[in-house]
Amino acid sequence: MDSLADYCNSLLLICSNRNLDKLQRVQNNLARVVCNSSRLTPAEPLLRSLHWLSVRQWIDYKLTNLCYLAIFFHQLVYLAHLIRPYSQSRSLRSSTQSFLSVPPHNIDIAARRFSIAAPRLWNSLPLSCQTAPSVNIFKNRLKTFSL
Evaluated on CA atoms 34, 38, 44, 46, the torsion sign reads: negative
Q: What is the DSSP letter of 71?
A: I
| Average pLDDT across the chain, whole number | 82
Q: Is the pLDDT of residue 88 over 80?
A: no
- Quote the pLDDT of residue 1: 46
pLDDT tens column, 40-87: 999 999 999 998 999 999 888 988 888 888 888 877 777 777 787 777
- Quote the pLDDT of residue 95: 53
Name beta bridge partners: 117. none
Bigger pLDDT: 1 vs 102: 102
Average the pLDDT over 122-129 and give the result.
89
- Report H helices in 6-134: 17-34, 43-49, 55-68, 77-80, 114-124, 127-130
> Rounded to a whole number, what is the distance in angstroms from the first to the last CA of the chain?
14
Average the pLDDT over 75-101 and give the result.
70
Report pTM: 0.77
| 144 three-state secondary structure | helix
Name beta bridge partners: 85. 100
